[in-house]
Structures are given as C-alpha cells and as structure tokens.
Amino acid sequence: MTRQSLSSPLTIRTLTVPNRVAMSPMTRGFCPDGAPTEEVAKYYSRRAAGGCGLIITEAVGIDHPSALGDAGLGEDNIPVLHGDAPVAGWRRVVETVHAAGGRIVPQLWHQGALRLAGTGPNPEARTLSPSGVWGPLGRMTSLAAGKVPADRRIGEPMRESEIDEVIEAYVRSARNATLAGFDGVAIHGAHGYLIDTFLWDETNVRNDRWGGDHAQRTAFAVEVVRRIRQAIGPLVPIFFRFSQWKQQDFRAQLATTPQELEQVLGPLADAGVDVFDASVRYFDKAAYPDSDLSLAGWAKKVTGKLSMAVGGVGINKGMYDGDKGVAAVDNVERVVSRLMHGEFDLVAVGRAVLGDAEWARKAIAGEAAVPFDPNTLSQLA
C-alpha cells in the first residue's frame, strides 16, 4: 500500500479527475447576494493548487423561492446559481480552479423542512416538505432549541404543482452550472434537507406516487436526477450525497440493511447518478453488522457505481462531535487501504482541508499538515 495511489486519476463519463482526493462541501456564507466574490475564487483555487483533484462547493441554493433561509447555519450570504451576478461569480471560481489544475462541481441544495419559516431571501415563501412534517421530536440533534419546532407538523404537504416547480428549479440550476463551466453537478440528498425528507419514512408519509416503501420514496429524487440528466446530456457526471443520519435525528437510518440500501440507491443509479457520496461522521465505520464495509463501500457494491467516502479524514473527531479537543491525525494509510481494495473510488476531506489548503499534497507526500483550527470555519483562508 502506498499513498501514491491517491494520485491516480479517475475518469467519470468524460471528466477525468487528476487524483482521488476531493474537497468536501462546507457551508461558509461568504457570497453577498448569493454571488461568489474574488476571495471565494481564491479560497477554492488554493485548495485545488494544494492537491485536491476535485472541489465540491459549499451547498448552493437552487432557483426556487423556498430553497434558502435560516436552517441553523445562518441565512446570510449563502450562494445561489441563478441570476447574472452569481453565475458570473461562479464562472470566475471555475476558471481559477481549472487554472490551478483542479476540477469542480457545485452542490445543489434545497433546505426543505429545515428552513425556518419567514427567513431567507424570500421570507414570504412557504417552507416545503413532502408531508408537512419536520421530523421526529426529542431526538439527538445538533440544532439549537430555537431551530426545532414545537410541533412536528409544520404545514401542509407539498402540492403536485409545488413538487414539479422544485424539480424544474433543480434543472435550471443544473443548466446554469454547465453555463458557468462546472465539470459536473452534485445533488444534496442528505442530512434531512428536502430530497432526504422524501427518502425518509419519518418525513414522507404520502400515499400518492411520491410516497410508499423504500423504492417508492425515491420517486422525487429519481425525477430530479432524471430531468437533470436529460437537461445536461450524457457527458457530464452527476454526484449524489446521501446519509443515514439526519439533522433532525442523528441516529436515524435511511436503510437498515444492504437490501434496503439497494432499494433506495438502485433507482437513482438507473436515473443517471455516477458517484454516490456517502456522508458519515467516520469514513471507515462499518455500515451494517457482519461486515466491515463502510457506507460508501455498500453504495458501490449494491449499485455498481462509483462511490466517495467522507468523514473524519485527517482529524480525530467526526463532524458534530464538538470542537473541544479536535486534533489533526494521520489516518491516510487507512484511507489508502480501503481505496486500494476497491471499497470506494474517491475520498472527500472537509475540516482538515479548511485548516491547511495544501493538505492533499502533504497527505500524499507523507508530510505533516497544519492542524485544524475551529476558528477557520469563520475565516477566509
């Protein structure tokens, strides 16, 4: 086993990523009126120059009035991918990342039930969820008490017309991503946001074509992927982030067995997903009993598609385990071992790359990186 295996290129449709290290999406809020600035372009290009072969941007609001608001992350300066200034700003970001030798895709996002009503760029817009349900109350969550509703029911179920409007908003934003020169499209289908609430049985109790069992609850996500694939054509890769845990419930499970996972991810693979981004707190934690395969490993096994691992790479604590006592660790050999055995195809790195823009190059070379400092979460670095 050698760290140099991280340097091998990976081809996804017509895109060739120069190595196996990706920068994980991390919301920061440095885009006034939704438009990335020159500082944002420099922020991403530094990570590309530092060895990240693929950049996945912070979550980007889709072209729909209810997409963004206060979801416990702050509601100001979240980027979007519609309007002349934001698209031009992203085009500049793409140019600088390409010049640094990297590839870049935007993560398309609708906050869904986690959007606090009356907040965001369009405070009058209705907060949307498939069944008008926020999620189960009284579960383990990272959200502040003021972000958790008193009643799990937060409104009426989405109407058929609203579902179609949101799907088309994803499509418009995906088209804008290609106009801005992005190398692909990533879809945020995790963490209790809109797409995830269609997948999760606690928040999707519909009895129409958008609800039902594990496979039937994929209908909304499948239609988003299918229409995006139709709009952007067969050459551009599509990434899809999914998770077991939700912000409403850290102990939630989207699928309790590999068979259920196949029922969820299989239709998405058939619709056009190329890479499944398995979001967990620790990249090598076994997903199911009787196997040491990670969630990314199972995603690859049950779909036959590429997968990406993420969670705790280069750092000793998973996200949401608290910042106290966070320290840099060199666990790259564990990443390499699983990568070389074909368990997954890419590894995404979050906070370690925030702490050191050259983390990827140093990790491959076996050099010590600058330790992560939680204060960098609120700084341009």
Which residues are known to be catalytic?
193
Handedness of CA 328, 331, 332, 338 (dihedral sign): negative
Cα→Cα distances 218→2, 291, 324, Å: 39, 26, 38
The neighbour count for residue 32, using CB atoms within 10 Å, is 13
Helix (H) / strand (E) element for 265: namely helix 258-271
Question: 180, 91 in Cβ contact below 8 A?
Answer: yes
The tokens 């981004």 sit on which residue?
A: 277
Cα distances (angstroms) measured from residue 338 to each of 106, 127, 202, 215, 361: 26, 41, 33, 29, 19
The single-letter code of the amino acid at 279 is S
d(C-alpha 304, C-alpha 138), whole Å: 37
Specify the pairing of strand 15-17 against strand 10-12.
antiparallel
Which residues have a Cβ under 8 Å from the Cβ of 286 and sit 6 or more positions away? 292, 293, 294
Measured distance CA(282)–CA(294) in Å, rounded: 9
Interhelix angle 160-179/84-99, nearest 10 degrees: 50
CB contact set of 132 (below 8 Å; sequence gap of 6+): 153, 154, 155, 156, 157, 158
Residues 6+ apart with CB under 8 A from 302: 258, 261, 262, 265, 266
Tell me the C-alpha distance between 63 and 291, whole Å.
41
- The b/e string for 346-371 (b: 16+ C-beta within 10 A; e otherwise) is bbbbbbbbbbbbbbbbbbbeeeebee
Question: How many degrees, rounded to 5, is the angle at CA 164 between CA 162 and CA 166?
Answer: 70
Angle of helix 258-271 versus helix 219-232 axis, rounded to 10 = 30
